[in-house]
Structure 1
Amino acid sequence: MKTKSVTKRRSPAGKVRSSAKASSSSRSASAGATKTRPRSRLKVETILVPIDFSAASLFAIRWASFIAQQTKAGIHLLNVHESGSPIAQSLGSPVIGSENEIKEQLHRDLQIVALRQKLSQASLQIRVGRPFHEICELAGEIHADLIILATHGRTGWERVFLGSTAERVIRHAPCPVLVARPTSREKEKLKLQKIVVPVDFSECSARGLHYAIDLAKYFRARLSLINVTPVHHDLPPAVIYSEAALRRWAREVAEAHMQELVQATDFEGVKYETVQKSGSPAQKICRHAVKEGADLIVTSTHGRTGFSHALIGSTAEKISRYARSPVLIVPSR
């Protein structure tokens, strides 16, 4: 029987690089914790892409096509027209008319978009109502495995993932949500080689990690697990007289938790590294993603240390606002 032993080498920056080596030996009680993984969470057969015909929203289609090529998923394009509004934004000039006239024009525009994006097999949907409600409702109806949205679109989408619409989508979406922000490099070929995974050692955080592992297997990507310990968090029983001592204690505790997490997780051959930081979680995570040239950040909702309302509370809002790479949010439910 083969067991895996993990070797680590520490760098001055506090990074621990890990690699798995196979060795032939019998497993004994003293061999350490058995690596376990829950059943795979990654099933991407249906992707929902809400668009408003802006260049930003079309960038989301690129991500959908990129992922669908690997997972063989079907793509559904959705445009939501605000109920009661006599005007709607389309590919060309704004459309003015009755609700039926607007829906017909928007559907024609969706057909043009699908043709231009080489998505002849895509399903096209026009809905009337509140955007977040229609997005979540359709996602449930078609059993979507992933919703992909781009920030900084028109007709209110500039607030997506920065305001109430975004919070509601994340809270109520029945599947993971990928937030893509177009950058100056948006015309470059998409790739998924490095994934940053914030972890806080909670069960919900582990769900995000397992999703990232499955995603990395599809794209042969590397993982960078990062834990950021805020100062003055979970004070120890003993009195600490200096901030430096507190930082050392918090770092030691976090490193021990990280080691336990790595030992208990089956990475299934996916290469990874671990990073421990202290300070502002959102700031450190975003900076680390930039430094590593991350192609994606994968996190989960309802963890600890700031992620108890991930992508809904202040820490997550900052990540979604300032992260240069796309952010994929895995719901805990």
Structure 2
Amino acid sequence: MKTSSLTPSVRRVLTAVDDDPASDEALVAGDWLARTFGAHLGVVHVLPGFPGRGNTPQRANGEGPDRGVITAQIEDLTAHVSQRTGRTSSAFEVFIDRGPIEDEIVERANMFAADIIVVGTHGRHGVDRVVAGSVAELVVRRAPCPVFVARPSPRDGRIIAACDLAQSTPLVLRWAGAISQRAGGTILATHTVEMAMSDVALVATTIFGGAVPPQPDAESAQALRTAATGALRAELTGASVIAETEVLTGPATTMVSARARDLGASLIVCGTHGRKGLSRLALGSVAETLVRHAPCSVLVVR
């Protein structure tokens, strides 16, 4: 499993599906990623845990009293994957697991040695309740590898690399570059400069009696944007990635999502950590918000 190399290596793609038709988007995206990178495809469907067993994960391996149910589930899932992807049954693996959904997806990713996990934007919590985005967010937080959150998106749209100009930036750029090189699509590398003091910081400063820092004037703001542009171009050179650059001004999540919507982007690539300070893309909170609200698919790398 490749989780730390700066050069993306995708040999095994694990796609998580459920009974919601919306999860077909994840299946299509997983198939596309596997074909794009020449990787092996695995598909997992997690069944609810046994009543009264709490949160203890259990391998649903077709043995024991539920053998007939599991066998039927495997056959149905195999047929569905073949129908949706055009693959023969020998060209992928299917897994039926039982337990808490996000726990089982992460555990299966470890067992499968997945290089990337693909999930949809809807996930099921419990037996009969669908909670939008919750499973995707939990998998993003806990996964041992990058997570691709699939939404209906044009395959030939722009790829937005959301860069924090900190530790995750080279990885974000290399992933964007690897996908662009193999699948097409030009890259827009962005960095967001948040000029204004946040409401929380303003209230805290007022309560504790400190002086409120002045807002940057036009000249200082331009200097910040110029410095960020230079840093972004230097990161691209270091990563050997060709891309346009753009420095956005405003709340990071809002600006990145709006830019993706304006451009009809196919994918946003972001990291899981960000840098505190005046000029920041606070990935972590931003990554999770993009997972919930971005207008296109999101790849969260680590």
Q: TM-score normalised by the shorter chain: which range applies? A: 0.7 to 0.9
CA distance in 1, matches of 2:187, 2:238: 10
Q: Which runs of 5+ in 1 are unaligned?
A: 1-37, 87-97
| Equivalent position of 1:282 in the other structure | 253
TM normalised by structure 1 equals 0.71
CA distance in 1, matches of 2:262, 2:173: 20
C-alpha contact (below 8 Å) 2:160/2:260 kept by paired residues: yes
- Percent identity reads 25
| Equivalent position of 2:121 in the other structure | 151
**In the TM superposition, what is the alpha-carbon distance from 1:233 to its structure 2 partner?**
5.8
Cα gap change, 1:177/1:264 in structure 2, threshold over 3 Å: closer, same or farther? Answer: closer
| Equivalent position of 1:6 in the other structure | none
The DSSP-based 3-state class of the residue aligned with 1:203 is: coil
Residue from 204, 208, 213 that aligns with 2:177: 213
Query: Which residue identity is paired with 2:186?
Result: R
Instruction: Indicate yes or no: 2:105 matched with 1:113.
Output: no
Per-residue Cα deviation, 1:168-188 (whole angstroms, up to 9, x for no partner): 311221111011124xxx7xx
Query: Which residue identity is paired with 2:103?
Result: H
Per-residue Cα deviation, 1:7-43 (whole angstroms, up to 9, x for no partner): xxxxxxxxxxxxxxxxxxxxxxxxxxxxxxx965211
| Equivalent position of 1:226 in the other structure | 190
TM normalised by structure 2 equals 0.78
RMSD: 3.0
Cα gap change, 1:125/1:115 in structure 2, threshold over 3 Å: closer, same or farther? Answer: same
Cα gap change, 1:151/1:166 in structure 2, threshold over 3 Å: closer, same or farther? Answer: closer
Instruction: Indicate yes or no: 2:30 matched with 1:64.
Output: yes
Cα gap change, 1:168/1:322 in structure 2, threshold over 3 Å: closer, same or farther? Answer: closer
Matches within 5 A, 1:1-333: 40-85=6-51, 99-117=66-84, 118-120=86-88, 121-152=91-122, 158-159=130-131, 162-163=133-134, 165-182=135-152, 191-232=155-196, 243=215, 245=217, 248-266=219-237, 271-305=242-276, 307-310=281-284, 313=285, 315-331=286-302
C-alpha contact (below 8 Å) 2:159/2:267 kept by paired residues: yes
* Count of aligned positions: 268
CA distance in 1, matches of 2:97, 2:213: 60
Which stretches of structure 1, 4 residues or longer, exceed 6 Å deviation after superposition? none
CA distance in 1, matches of 2:40, 2:225: 41
| Equivalent position of 1:4 in the other structure | none
| Equivalent position of 1:17 in the other structure | none
The DSSP-based 3-state class of the residue aligned with 2:168 is: helix
Cα gap change, 1:170/1:248 in structure 2, threshold over 3 Å: closer, same or farther? Answer: farther
Cα gap change, 1:229/1:158 in structure 2, threshold over 3 Å: closer, same or farther? Answer: farther
C-alpha contact (below 8 Å) 1:56/1:153 kept by paired residues: no
